[in-house]
């Protein structure tokens, strides 16, 4: 008995899809990594005993309301549809067909027999096309006979003057129905009588209704005929040489470097898209062909080597591949089933894994794949990476793939060689770098929201370790009900977090490094100012003490006043204006000012200078900080007399 690669798949397919519609059957086949593997049944027609294994039940076929044995549906309909008309989910049909033929050749290991099988299939297809021509002619003749018979019936009925009109109309209607029924049934009868046994493909061609069947059938045959039965000819300019599978076969046989693939397929976007799509199809782990796992695993290892080369940015090969194509090469990993095992086949995390994480972070499905199929399965390796190596965001960005529960239970609350403080510090660095790199809030907001509900102490720890205000950004998207009293009240942690946020807010007002995130920073600043409004006096006094004594920062002061509802007292005044302002305050609002030292002597001879502005609440007028005033004598003789008095003491 002949041996087939897809025997087990066919039995499973027959048992599962025997009652499904033809469209569902073909959709299932198209979703296979390489459905063109089924071409083996056309190259080597099965024996009757094997067909009987799957022909045990009638099944919906491609023809309307047709139920035929499942083996007929598969061997006389699905196979033809797969080879001649189906578009695979990934890759082009020609590329997948070439790859399938290569794999079948490797399995058979008899190139002469394989070449003969292709020739035999070509001959059967040519014979079927010729038979289809004869069928078309026969069908036209038989249809014409039915038309003549129908017209004769109508003529006889019209000529019969003895029949009542109602009876005549009834018989005409019956004649029309019989003519339509016979016309509809005629193709099936002719096919069953003259063609089904010797040329089953004729029925498929008829029901496809193609105006030019040859143009649909022959491209697949030309692709198979382009294959050299033994070794790839490096000097050939055949169709095979211009395809991804052809080039890869040549490279595998000659132990060539990756540079040929890069030069041929990975420098131009169109060719790269074709090559990558083909690779995903032929390297995916699928159940269609037994014994193929080792072959597909070899292809995945080859791709891992290619990604390693591309990750080394100092190589000529990496520099020659555009960044969007490099990203597409990385994203292929997420769509190639079985790659999770190839990634971690060695004891070390692959050098391209950091690039793979960055490519996958924006897509939730890719993050889930990284988390569940790679990181959590090999947790100890990643923990070692986290705790033992110096901090580099690219090497630790995989932490952003973790969901809140895993981050808390596996990393922050587990027994590690490093302290909890060390782990929290690193997480803060990672979250902060993620924000500065403009990565989506989806990566960090769920973490902060989870901690706000389930672990406030941990969230406080993260806040205390923030070094820049933009790191606060994920908190803006946390629902207000989850924040609750996190920043309110007099408990030590809430007050401490407000003080730290106030410090970050003031720091941001003078930072020039955030200009590229102006809009985001503005929203963060306003949110932060709202959180620390309970400490409005502390915020104003800190600003005045740290930033206002040497030179009044006009823009920063205006921003803070707007956000924190503060009115500055005595700001931006020249010497003359400042003196008159102090006089006004002494007269009407002396509580707004405080002197460095109590004025001595005749106050009419004093000049008042504002050393530091004050602040008050815009809404209530409450004094938050008094303006600090220095009283200076303006009469030189009075100053001289005072010095003389001091010397005489």
Given a contact cutoff of 8 angstroms between Cβ atoms, the answer to whether 462 and 427 are in contact is yes
> Residues 527-538: what's their mean pLDDT?
88
Please say if the pLDDT value at position 229 is more than 60: no
State the Cα–Cα distance between residues 328 and 561, nearest whole angstrom: 49
State the Cα–Cα distance between residues 434 and 400, nearest whole angstrom: 8
State the Cα–Cα distance between residues 180 and 437, nearest whole angstrom: 70
- Of 161 and 463, the structure prediction assigns the larger pLDDT to 463
* Tokens 């139920």 sit on residue: 67
End-to-end CA distance of the chain: 127
- The tokens for 577 are 């204006």
State the Cα–Cα distance between residues 560 and 565, nearest whole angstrom: 8
Residue 630 to residues 291, 553, 581, 587, 610, Cα–Cα distance (Å): 92, 20, 13, 17, 6
pLDDT level of residue 513 (50, 70, 90 thresholds): very low
- Of 461 and 639, the structure prediction assigns the larger pLDDT to 461
State the Cα–Cα distance between residues 115 and 98, nearest whole angstrom: 14
616 forms bridges with which residues in the sheet? 567, 623
Given a contact cutoff of 8 angstroms between Cβ atoms, the answer to whether 388 and 428 are in contact is no
Residue 258 to residues 107, 125, 178, 227, Cα–Cα distance (Å): 25, 39, 68, 23
Residue 356, helix vs strand vs coil:
helix
State the Cα–Cα distance between residues 3 and 306, nearest whole angstrom: 35
DSSP 479: -
**Residue 334: closest CA among 369, 299, 301:** 369
**Residue 469: closest CA among 397, 532, 403, 426:** 532
> Residues 367-374: what's their mean pLDDT?
94
Tens of pLDDT along 299-315? 888 888 889 888 876 66
Mean pLDDT of the chain: 83
Tens of pLDDT along 153-195? 888 888 887 888 888 888 889 989 999 999 988 988 998 888 8
State the Cα–Cα distance between residues 496 and 502, nearest whole angstrom: 10
**Residue 220: closest CA among 132, 358, 393, 97:** 97
Residue 34, helix vs strand vs coil:
coil
**Residue 349: closest CA among 325, 370, 324:** 370
State the Cα–Cα distance between residues 199 and 127, nearest whole angstrom: 8
Residue 25: the pLDDT is 92
Residue 57: the pLDDT is 76
Residues 6+ apart with CB under 8 A from 490: none
Please say if the pLDDT value at position 649 is more than 80: no
Q: What is the DSSP string of 291-308?
A: T-HHHHHHHHHHHHHHHH
State the Cα–Cα distance between residues 600 and 631, nearest whole angstrom: 9
- The tokens for 521 are 């920073």
Please say if the pLDDT value at position 451 is more than 90: no
- The tokens for 211 are 């105006």
State the Cα–Cα distance between residues 97 and 75, nearest whole angstrom: 18
Residue 640: the pLDDT is 67
Residue 549: the pLDDT is 59
- The tokens for 396 are 């630790």
State the Cα–Cα distance between residues 136 and 616, nearest whole angstrom: 97
- The tokens for 375 are 């990181």
Residue 213: the pLDDT is 93
Pair type for strands 614-617 and 566-569: antiparallel
* Cβ neighbours of 448 (radius 10 Å): 23
pLDDT level of residue 214 (50, 70, 90 thresholds): very high
Based on the number of CB atoms within 10 Å of its own CB, is 472 exposed (0-12), middle (13-18) or buried (19 or more)? buried
**Share of residues in the chain with pLDDT > 70 (%):** 86
Residue 361: the pLDDT is 92
Please say if the pLDDT value at position 240 is more than 50: no
Task: Among 59-68, 132-141, 145-154, 220-229, name the one with the lowest average pLDDT.
Answer: 220-229
Tens of pLDDT along 604-647? 668 888 888 899 998 888 999 998 888 887 766 666 666 666 67
Cα 40 to the center of its chain, rounded Å? 35
Given a contact cutoff of 8 angstroms between Cβ atoms, the answer to whether 237 and 229 are in contact is no
Flag whether the pTM goes above 0.75. no
623 forms bridges with which residues in the sheet? 616
């Amino acid at each position: 008995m002949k041996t087939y690669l897809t025997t087990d798949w066919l039995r499973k397919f027959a048992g599962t899809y025997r009652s499904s519609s033809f469209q569902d059957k073909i959709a299932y086949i198209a979703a296979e990594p390489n459905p063109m593997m089924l071409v083996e049944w056309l190259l080597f027609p099965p024996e009757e005993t094997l067909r009987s294994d799957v022909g045990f039940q009638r099944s919906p076929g491609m023809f309307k309301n047709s139920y035929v044995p499942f083996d007929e549906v598969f061997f006389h309909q699905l196979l033809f549809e797969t080879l001649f008309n189906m578009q695979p989910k990934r890759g082009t049909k020609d590329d997948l067909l070439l790859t399938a033929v290569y794999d079948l050749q490797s399995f058979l290991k008899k190139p002469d027999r394989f070449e003969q099988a292709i020739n035999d299939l070509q001959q059967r297809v040519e014979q079927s096309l010729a038979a289809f021509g004869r069928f078309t002619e026969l069908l036209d003749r038989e249809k014409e006979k039915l038309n003549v018979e129908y017209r004769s019936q109508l003529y006889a009925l019209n000529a019969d003057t003895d029949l009542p009109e109602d009876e005549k109309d009834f018989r005409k209607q019956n004649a029309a129905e019989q003519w339509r029924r016979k016309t509809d049934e005629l193709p099936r009868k002719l096919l069953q009588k003259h063609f089904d046994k010797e040329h089953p493909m004729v029925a498929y061609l008829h029901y496809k209704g193609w105006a030019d069947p040859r143009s649909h059938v022959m491209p697949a045959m030309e692709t198979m005929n382009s294959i050299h039965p033994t070794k790839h000819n490096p000097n050939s300019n055949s169709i095979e040489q211009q395809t991804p599978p052809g080039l890869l076969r040549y490279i595998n046989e000659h132990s060539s470097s990756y540079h040929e693939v890069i030069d041929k397929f990975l420098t131009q976007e169109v060719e790269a898209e074709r090559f990558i799509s083909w690779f995903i199809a032929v390297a995916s782990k699928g159940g269609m062909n037994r014994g193929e796992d080792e072959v597909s695993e070899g292809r995945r290892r080859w791709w891992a080597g290619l990604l390693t080369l591309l990750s080394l940015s100092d190589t000529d090969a990496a520099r020659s591949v555009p960044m969007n194509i490099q990203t597409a090469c990385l994203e292929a990993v997420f769509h190639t089933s079985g790659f999770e095992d190839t990634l971690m086949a060695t004891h070390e995390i692959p050098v391209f894994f950091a690039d793979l994480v960055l490519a996958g972070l924006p897509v939730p499905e890719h993050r889930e794949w990284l988390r569940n199929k790679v990181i959590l399965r090999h947790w100890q390796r990643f923990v070692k990476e986290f705790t033992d190596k110096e901090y580099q965001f690219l090497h630790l960005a995989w932490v952003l793939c973790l969901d809140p529960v895993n981050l808390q239970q596996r990393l922050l609350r587990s027994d590690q060689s490093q302290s909890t403080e060390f782990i929290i510090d690193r997480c803060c660095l990672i979250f902060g770098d993620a924000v500065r790199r403009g990565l989506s809030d989806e990566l960090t907001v769920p973490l902060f929201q989870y901690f706000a509900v389930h672990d406030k102490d941990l969230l406080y720890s993260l806040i205390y370790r923030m070094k820049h205000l933009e790191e606060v950004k994920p908190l803006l998207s946390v629902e207000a009900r989850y924040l609750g009293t996190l920043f309110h009240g007099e408990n030590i942690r809430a007050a401490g977090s407000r003080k730290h946020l106030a410090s970050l807010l003031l720091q941001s007002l003078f930072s020039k490094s955030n200009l590229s995130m102006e809009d985001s920073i503005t929203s963060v600043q306003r949110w932060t100012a709202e959180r620390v409004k309970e400490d409005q006096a502390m915020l104003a006094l800190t600003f005045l003490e740290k930033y206002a004594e040497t030179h009044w920062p006009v823009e920063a002061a205006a921003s803070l006043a707007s956000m924190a509802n503060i009115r500055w007292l005595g700001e931006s005044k020249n010497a003359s204006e400042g003196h008159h302002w102090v006089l006004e305050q002494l007269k009407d609002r002396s509580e707004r000012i405080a002197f460095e030292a109590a004025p001595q002597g005749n106050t009419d001879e004093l000049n008042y200078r504002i050393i530091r502005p004050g602040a008050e609440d815009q809404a209530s007028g409450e004094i938050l900080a008094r303006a600090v005033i220095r009283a200076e004598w303006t009469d030189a003789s009075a100053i001289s007399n005072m010095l003389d008095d001091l010397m005489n003491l």
